Amino acid sequence: MRFVNGRQRIVNDAGPGVGPNGSCIHKRKKIRAAWEAGGACKAEKGLWVMKHIAIGIFGAAALGLMASAASATTLDTVKQKGFIQCGVSTGLAGFSAPNDKGEWQGLDADFCRAVAAAVFGDGSKVKFTPLSAKERFTALQSGEVDLLSRNTTWTINRDTALGLNFVGATYYDGQGFMINAKKLPGVNSALQLSGAAVCVQSGTTTELNLADYFKKNKMEYNPVVFEKLEEVNAAYDAGRCDVYTTDQSGLYGIRLTLASPADHVVLPEIISKEPLGPAVRQGDDQWYHIVKWTYFALLNAEEAGITQANVDEMKTSTDPNVQRILGTEPDSKFGTDLGVSNDWVVNIVKAVGNYGEMFERNVGSGSPLKIARGINALWTKGGLQYAPPIR
Ligand SMILES: N[C@@H](CCC(=O)N[C@@H](CS)C(=O)NCC(=O)O)C(=O)O
């Protein structure tokens, strides 16, 4: 097989992750040097000492403020501002993308609404921050967003060194390849891709798995790397690379946005495990539990047959499991133990439906993507989606 794009073209390598900003340290050093210089001048010595005392007092006050800000939980700050700031993608169909009215739609966007419904009883109390792959972790670490719900793979590095806590896998995925079948007739396996130019987004597990896969199979490839999704999509659509690789769900979403979707086929190989899920910052157990149990509530609701349409009716159910889930059993306190109201699951399901409904509406049969439930079916239906009980 001869590939049209056989030349090495690394278009925009994002490089390593963003570290802490050193410019403040530099500024602080400069200020200190200026103070020391002031201290050397005899006439200003008294003033210098007074200034240092004042700095000490203000510094202590500032530290006090910082300490109280640090001890304010995410739930407190979210409640105070009245909404959840949710980090999403810049626009990936099925997961998080604005519609023509500018409303964010998709499985990840709806998960943000589910958390808002648990916290506020109102799924609309969310603001969305679109983030590229490279920007997403800094946005969560710095507190710019309260929650990252952005087709992000749960890995050990992200769960430890990056200071995040993943709450689970809201979508079990794997990495795949897409080609333009008109341009590459006869290619029906990724193992035929040696020598190909491969479009990929930087700052992703995709980039790393791609290297592993070609190395393991002793094949050559030319990475064509961009930071922004629209750049990768445009390059692939313009035929600047032979192959597009990302999470398989992403390929189906991206295919819909291409000039002629029907020309493109997703190859059968899945080369990695990509458990995609929401993540929060480490160090705030209560918030972690709220987000984690929102996910489990969505699954438990589906398993118990509680839907957006029947949730009000289900409130009168005498089934003890349904009563525990919906907070209708006498002396129910699972919600308040979590830090939300006892009807939190009622509010979640009213806002977005149960997990199955969210799946079908956004990526499944009710969506243009038409992805089968597959391994994302409930464990009771042979899938991997399994939640601990509400009891
Ligand atoms: N799941 C992988 C890949 C996630 C990813 O960022 N994929 C790209 C390509 S589908 C994407 O969603 N881009 C959207 C954007 O940058 O807004 C990861 O967590 O590293």
Q: 197, 6 in Cβ contact below 8 A?
A: yes
Q: Model pTM?
A: 0.85
pLDDT of residue 6: 53
pLDDT of residue 2: 58
**DSSP line for 189-205:** SGGG-TTEEEEEETTSH
Segment holding 85, helix H or strand E: strand 84-88
Q: Separation of 107 CA from ligand 1 center, angstroms?
A: 14
Q: 390, 292 in Cβ contact below 8 A?
A: no
Q: Report the CATH architecture of 76-171+276-381.
A: 3-Layer(aba) Sandwich (3.40)
* Ligand 1 pocket residue status of 249, Cβ below 6 Å: no
Which ligand 1 atom sits closest to the C-alpha of 130? 17
pLDDT 10s digits, 234-264: 999 999 999 999 999 999 999 999 999 999 9
Q: 199, 254 in Cβ contact below 8 A?
A: no
* Ligand 1 pocket residue status of 141, Cβ below 6 Å: no
Q: Separation of 327 CA from ligand 1 center, angstroms?
A: 37
**DSSP line for 238-260:** TTSSSEEEEEHHHHHHHHTTSSS
- Residues present in the chain in total: 391
The domains of the chain are located at 76-171+276-381, 175-272
Would you put residue 387 in left (φ > 0), alpha (ψ -120 to 50) or beta? beta
Residue with tokens 């990475």: 223
Which ligand 1 atom sits closest to the C-alpha of 203? 20
What does the block give as tokens for 50? 């007074």
Which ligand 1 atom sits closest to the C-alpha of 153? 19
β-pairing verdict for 164-166 and 147-148: unpaired
Q: 251, 266 in Cβ contact below 8 A?
A: yes
Ligand 1 pocket: which of 229, 233, 258 to mutate (most atoms within 8 A of CB): 229
Ligand 1 pocket: which of 107, 140, 247, 256 to mutate (most atoms within 8 A of CB): 247
* Ligand 1 pocket residue status of 206, Cβ below 6 Å: yes
Beta bridge partners of 153: 276
Q: Separation of 227 CA from ligand 1 center, angstroms?
A: 10
Q: Separation of 207 CA from ligand 1 center, angstroms?
A: 10
CA gap 250, 366 in Å, rounded? 17
pLDDT of residue 3: 74
CATH of region 175-272, choose from 3.90.1580.10, 3.40.190.10, 1.50.10.10, 3.90.550.10? 3.40.190.10
What does the block give as tokens for 40? 């050397």
pLDDT 10s digits, 255-300: 999 999 999 999 999 999 999 999 999 999 999 999 999 999 999 9
What lies within 8 Å, CB to CB, of 341 at 6+ separation is: 121, 327, 335, 347
Which ligand 1 atom sits closest to the C-alpha of 232? 9
Q: Separation of 371 CA from ligand 1 center, angstroms?
A: 18
The residue type of 246 is T
Which ligand 1 atom sits closest to the C-alpha of 89? 17
CA gap 377, 231 in Å, rounded? 33
Which ligand 1 atom sits closest to the C-alpha of 158? 19
Q: Separation of 271 CA from ligand 1 center, angstroms?
A: 16
Q: Separation of 386 CA from ligand 1 center, angstroms?
A: 25
* Ligand 1 pocket residue status of 74, Cβ below 6 Å: no
Rounded to an integer, what is the distance from CA 99 to the centroid of its chain?
A: 19
Q: For 84, which DSSP code? A: E
Q: b or e along 258-285 (b: 16 or more beta carbons within 10 Å of the residue's beta carbon)?
A: beeeeebbebeeebbebbbbbbbbeebe
Cα–Cα distance list, 58 to 2, 51, 385 (Å)? 69, 10, 52
Q: Would you write out the chain's pLDDT as a tens digit for each of its 391 residues?
A: 557 665 444 444 333 332 222 222 233 233 233 322 333 333 333 333 344 444 444 444 444 444 444 568 999 999 999 999 999 999 999 999 999 999 999 999 999 999 999 999 999 999 999 999 999 999 999 999 999 999 999 999 999 999 999 999 999 999 999 999 999 999 999 999 999 999 999 999 999 999 999 999 999 999 999 999 999 999 999 999 999 999 999 999 999 999 999 999 999 999 999 999 999 999 999 999 999 999 999 999 999 999 999 999 999 999 999 999 999 999 999 999 999 999 999 999 999 999 999 999 999 999 999 999 999 999 999 999 999 999 9
Q: 116, 83 in Cβ contact below 8 A?
A: yes
* Ligand 1 pocket residue status of 202, Cβ below 6 Å: no
Which ligand 1 atom sits closest to the C-alpha of 274? 1
* Among the listed residues 201, 292, 279, 216, the one whose alpha carbon sits nearest the alpha carbon of residue 247: 201
Beta bridge partners of 164: 281
Q: Separation of 174 CA from ligand 1 center, angstroms?
A: 12
β-pairing verdict for 164-166 and 243-247: unpaired
The residue type of 11 is V
* Ligand 1 pocket residue status of 153, Cβ below 6 Å: yes
